Amino acid sequence: MTKKETDALALKRRELVRTAVDIGVVTTRPKYEAAGNLLVIAKELGKNIRAYFKPLKAAAKAAHSALCDREKEELEPILEAQSLLTRGMDDFEEKIRREAEEQEALARKAAEEAAIDRAEKLEAAGMHEEAEITLERGGQVVAPPAEAPKVNGLSSHRKWDFEIIDEEKLERAYTVPDVVKIRRIVTAHGQDAPAMIGKGSIRVFQKTVRAAR
């Protein structure tokens, strides 16, 4: 499209908008007819504008796709390396946590055995209340935190994540309606659609769709 043609389109667009504003609220038959005639012009103008931009968008899309492919090609080995390194670090952190839990369990067991031994001696000495307190506190140990080495330039924190193992057991609030499927049922069955989709789940209504002939 030449510059002269694009300028003509711009002029038509401005005139269209100005005329639509002049028509204002449709309250009479003449205004309804004027609005309808202008709508036909608007749709034709929109068609021309889309036709102008279609090849431009196609070229831009092709260029974008080529850039994305190149980016993916360059990033792929780096992402693979990151994934490998992350898995290795995750495995090591899990090993540290597991060892810390094992050490804590051993320390707790040793503390409980020592507390039982002290409690028995206190019982033998007639110090029954002290023996009971010793047994209650005997298994308490202060475990050192399980921390991986600090790495300059990296920060990390623990957070909860999830994976869905059975969609059928999800509460309804956490399921996403299939809008495309619902629209297909509504288009085919109209006012009977709610009974098929779920009584009280949706409200169906009609709206006017206008197309230029």
Instruction: Classify burial at 75, counting beta carbons within 10 Å of its beta carbon; exposed 0-12, middle 13-18, buried 19 or more.
Output: exposed
The residue segments making up the domain with residue 73 are 3-149
State percent of the chain over pLDDT 70: 95
**170-204 per-position pLDDT tens digit:** 888 788 888 999 999 999 999 999 999 888 899 99
User: Which long-range CB contacts under 8 A does 135-144 form with residues at least 24 apart?
Assistant: 138/111, 138/112, 138/114, 139/108, 139/111, 139/112, 139/115, 140/111, 141/104, 141/107, 141/108, 141/111, 143/100, 143/103, 143/104, 143/107, 144/100
Does 125 share its domain with 26? Answer: yes
Cβ atoms 212, 40 nearer than 8 A: yes
Helix (H, G, I), strand (E, B) or coil at 179: helix
Question: Which pair of structure tokens corresponds to residue 38?
Answer: 């202008």
Residues near 104 by beta carbon (within 8 Å), at least 6 away in sequence: 141, 143
| Count of domains observed in the chain | 2
Cβ atoms 13, 43 nearer than 8 A: no
Does 137 share its domain with 53? Answer: yes
Count CB atoms within 10 A of the CB of residue 64: 11
Question: Which pair of structure tokens corresponds to residue 1?
Answer: 């499209």
Does 162 share its domain with 125? Answer: no
pLDDT for 73: 96
Does 120 share its domain with 200? Answer: no
In a domain, 213, yes or no: no
Does 185 share its domain with 135? Answer: no
CA dihedral defined by 118, 122, 124, 128, rounded to 10 degrees?
Answer: -130
**9-49 per-position pLDDT tens digit:** 788 888 888 888 888 788 889 889 988 888 888 888 889 88
Residue 107 has pLDDT above 80, yes or no: yes
Does 203 share its domain with 102? Answer: no
State percent of the chain over pLDDT 90: 25
